Amino acid sequence: MKLLFDGENTKVYDDILSKDNFEELFDFLNYHPYIFKESLGEWNKIWNFSDGQILIGNSFIWTLNKVPPVKEYTKSLTALIETINVIVEQSHFFNCSNIRTLNMTPYCWPPGTGLGWHNDSNYLGAVTFYGHQYWSPEWGGEFITCEANKYIVEDKKKITWKVFDNKELHDLLMIEGSGNYFYPKPNRLIINKGGANGILHKVNKSTLNSNPRLTLQCFIKAK
C-alpha cells in the first residue's frame, strides 16, 4: 500500500491488496448478486436524473477495528476491511470514538454513469475502493474534488446542496474552476472527509464504450 495523495480532506492510496487477494476480490464482485438502485423505491436525491442507473449488492457492516465473523467473507474481503480500519484510524480525519459503524456496499457502475457534486454530509466520511481489473484513461469515470481550492461549502459561503437548482453551488465551484482528479485505477482506495465540512466531490461520467466500474463504497457512520 502506498499513499499517492495526502490532502486535508482526501487521501488516495494505491496497491491496497496483494495480487492474489485483488484477483479473488474481482471474482467475488463478478458473482455477487446486484439489483438496480432505483428498485429500492425511494429516490435518493443525491442522484441526478442524468446520472444513469447503477447497481448495488448486499452490504457488509462492522465496527472499527473488528472484522465481522461471517463465513461467506473471503480472504480478500477480510484483508480489505482490515486495511480500511487502519486507513480510517491513520487518516486523522475523524475522532474514532465517534464512529458507530462502517457500512460497505458493492456497486456496479455501467458505462455512461456518474454522480454529481456532493459532500457526504450524512456521514463522517466515505471510502471508495476500485475492484475492476482494467481502466483506460480515455473512459472518464474520475473521482473529482476541489481539494486544491479548499471549497468546504458550509465554512465558506453558507451555500448548501440543493435538489433541483444548484446554480449557487456551481457558481462557487467556478470561482477558481480547478481542483484534483483521480482515475478509477484498479486496486486504488480513496478516503474523504464527510459531515458538515466534507469536501465537495463528484464522480465523472464514464464513456459509453467503457468497462463497468466495480467499486466497494464504504460509509463511516457516527454514533
pLDDT digits (tens, 9 = 90+) for 96-155: 888 999 999 999 999 999 998 888 878 899 999 999 999 999 999 999 998 766 655 555
The three cell numbers of residue 209 are 464504450
Low-confidence ranges of the chain (pLDDT < 70): 39, 41, 45, 68-73, 148-160, 196-197
* CB count in 10 Å sphere of residue 158: 8
| Contact residues for 4 (Cβ-Cβ < 8 A; gap 6+) | 12, 13, 14, 182, 188
Domain CATH code at residue 72: 2.60.120.620
Using the Cα atoms of residue 155, residue 159, residue 162 and residue 166 in order, give the sign of their dihedral: negative
Would you call 57 helix, strand, or coil by DSSP? coil
**Burial of 105 from C-beta contacts in 10 A (0-12 / 13-18 / 19+):** middle
State the pLDDT at residue 156.
52
pLDDT at 197: 65
Does the pTM surpass 0.85? The reply is yes
Domain range for 190 is 2-222
**Torsional sign, CA 134, 24, 219, 110:** positive
Please give the tally of structural domains in the chain: 1
Cell of 117: 457534486
Residue 175 DSSP SS3: helix
For 74, what's the count of Cα atoms within 13 Å in the CB-facing half-sphere? 16
What pLDDT does 21 receive? 93
Distance CA 124, CA 122 (A): 7
Q: How far apart are CA 119 and CA 124, in angstroms?
A: 10
Give strand pairing partners of 77.
none
